[in-house]
Structure 1
Amino acid sequence: MAARLQQVQAKACQATKFISKHGSAYYKQLLEQNKQYVKDPPTIETCNELSKQLFYTRLASIEGRTESFWRELDYIKNMWKNRQELRVEDAGIAALFGIECFAWFCAGEIIGRGFTFTGYYP
């Protein structure tokens, strides 16, 4: 266990040295590549204004997303009414979607338990 701790410490030390040596250049390069997204002047007031714009824009988009959800739900209801005409491809896509949702649920549960697979260990 002590040897493993020393390995982790050595790796962390190497990463720190690399970041201290190359971090500034990477930061400058990143800002230069994405300067079209920087709002001038870069102040706290500008950040607060952009934050409010994002919040209220997302709030305004709820209505459109709700309408889209109900259209999708109506489409599914219509497919269920005409399930005799359902093709194998459509059923396969629906099954894969259900399996994917279940897998994400299981992954979320595992992450929520602190990456333990069985029980709770305090």
Structure 2
Amino acid sequence: MASKVYQLRGKVAEIWRLAEKNGGAYYKQLMENNKQHVQNPPSVENCQHLAKQLFYTRLASIPGRYESLKKEVDFVKHLLKHRKELMIEDAGVAALFGLECFAWFCAGEIVGRGFTLTGYHV
């Protein structure tokens, strides 16, 4: 066990040296490639303006999202009315989707409790 910890420590040190050596160049390249997304001058007012734009753009997208939701609900209603025509593949996909939703719910509960399985902190 101690040898594995020593190996891991060596790997972390190696990665850290690599990040120190190439991190600045990577940052400069990243900023150069994405300079069209940088707001100049970088001020609090510009940031607040961008935040307002994002908020109201999201609000403006609600009617479209609501229409999409209505279409999905109508499709599910149609499937329930005609469930005798439902193919086993469709039922399997629906079951997997439900299982995935349940798994995300469980993961969220665990994260919400501070990554403990029982809810008690040790």
Corresponding position of 1:57: 57
Change in 2 beyond 3 A, CA 1:119/1:45: closer
Equivalent residue letter for 1:63: P
Identical columns (%): 61
Deviates more, 1:61-70 or 1:25-34: 25-34
Q: Report the RMSD for the aligned CA atoms in angstroms.
A: 2.7
* Residue aligning to 1:33: 33
Q: Which whole-Å CA distance do the structure 1 matches of 2:11 and 2:43 have between them?
A: 36
* Aligned amino acid, residue 57 of structure 1: T
Report 1:1-122 matches (<5 A): 22-121=22-121
Which amino acid in structure 2 is aligned with residue 47 of structure 1?
C
Query: Structure 2 vs 1, CA of residues 68 and 35 (structure 1 numbering), >3 Å: closer, same or farther?
Result: same
Deviation (angstroms), 1:44: 2.2
Q: Secondary structure at the match of 1:116?
A: coil
Match of 2:4 in 1: none
Which secondary structure state, in structure 1, belongs to the residue aligned with residue 67 of structure 2?
helix
Q: How many residues align?
A: 119
**Residue 116 of structure 1 aligns to which amino acid in structure 2?**
T
Q: Distance in 2 between matches of 1:89 and 1:64?
A: 30
**Taking structure 1 as the reference length, what is the TM-score of the superposition?**
0.78
Query: Structure 1: which 5+ runs fail to align?
Result: 1-8
Q: Tell me the distance in 2 between the aligned counterparts of 1:41 and 1:12.
A: 38
Distance in 2 (CA, whole Å) between partners of 1:15 and 1:28 is 19
In the alignment, the residues of structure 2 paired with residue 46 and residue 13 of structure 1 have an alpha-carbon distance, to the nearest angstrom, of: 40
Distance 2:95 2:88 in 1: 10
Q: Which structure 2 segments of 5+ residues have no match?
A: 1-8
